[in-house]
Amino acid sequence: MTRRELAFYSGILVVLGMGWGVTQPLTKIAVSTGYQPLGLIFWQLVIGAAAMAAVSLATGRGFPMTWPAFAACAVIALVGTLIPNSAGYKAIAHLPAGVMSILISLVPMMAFPIALVLGLERFSTRRLVGLMAGLAGVLILVLPEASLPERAMLAWIPLALVGPACYAFEGNYVARWGTGGLDAIQVLFGASVLGAAIALPVTLGAGQFISPVRVWQAPEWAFVASSVIHAAVYCGYVWLVAKAGPVFAAQVSYVVTVSGVFWSLVLLGERYSPYIWAALCLVLLGVFLVQPRSQDGLAEGETIKDTVR
């Protein structure tokens, strides 16, 4: 990679990371009026499916109707969206968006022990130290009484960790069993359609359906913006993986974490204790140590579904 290419792809990486980071405070705004998780998840999946359908039409992609493809979409819809987003939407209503940005970056650290069990990774002292650094960051968040703005928020930390755990499992599933022959755009489209089909009856049954026929205010616009940005940035990330390589693209996780905290400061006026800043530094150190290096031979599926959300 030439210096010019490096500068160009680095700029793209920063833009993608800033885009992903802003989705956390936007989601915080979206849940501010009491919208329930299932209603938000359904419309997020609909918006994601529409965006991926547009990309598929523009690029001439088809969708193979095979059982392996269906199985992959079903797993990713459940473990990659329905379960983690249900927990995440509930948790972010009670936790600062910046704290959520820190916790979501634990995905690589949670993925490493799962990969060891599945035989996808070899033991590495460097990665073990990264795992311990991430754990120390979480402990700094939850143990000192002055870490969170309100001590009652502590009860929502375990729920906030459901998402990273699901994404860690999802990444390892893709690395171990693949996506049924689908590329990243196809699998996200299939998972969005299937997930929306599953979510709709559940949402209606739970009385959490959100009618779009209403006077739109900040929460509604924030939710739509978050969903559209996520779909657009995801497509950009897949493109960056193809152009600059998975190891380079994986570094976007640092930008996502830092920008999530930055956007929360700017858009929500959040302020953090020294403990939260210390936790951020430890988690970033952990991500740095756990992230695969070029010699680690990172699998394509693992990078696309494992590094950031």
b/e map 10-33, b = 16+ CB within 10 Å: eebbeebbbbbbbbbbbbbbbbee
Q: How far apart are the first and last CA of the chain?
A: 26
CB atoms within 10 A of CB 79: 20
pLDDT in tens, 247-293: 677 778 888 889 999 999 999 999 888 999 999 999 888 888 887 66
Q: Where are the alpha helices (DSSP H) in 105-217?
A: 107-118, 125-142, 157-160, 162-177, 184-205
Q: Cα 277–281–285 angle (5° rounding)?
A: 165
Contact status, residue 87 vs residue 162, Cβ threshold 8 Å: yes
**Is residue 211 classed exposed, middle or buried when 0-12, 13-18 and 19+ CB atoms within 10 A define those classes?**
exposed
Whether the Cβ atoms of residue 98 and residue 261 lie closer than 8 Å to each other: yes
Q: Is the pLDDT of residue 308 over 50?
A: no
Question: In Å, how far are 19, 35, 157, 272, 300 from 178, measured between CA atoms?
Answer: 27, 35, 31, 40, 9
Question: What pLDDT is attached to residue 292?
Answer: 66
The SS3 of residue 157 is helix
pLDDT in tens, 36-95: 899 999 999 999 899 889 888 888 888 888 898 899 899 999 998 899 999 999 999 999
- pLDDT at residue 112 greater than cutoff 90: no
How many CA within 13 A on the CB side of residue 304?
Answer: 24
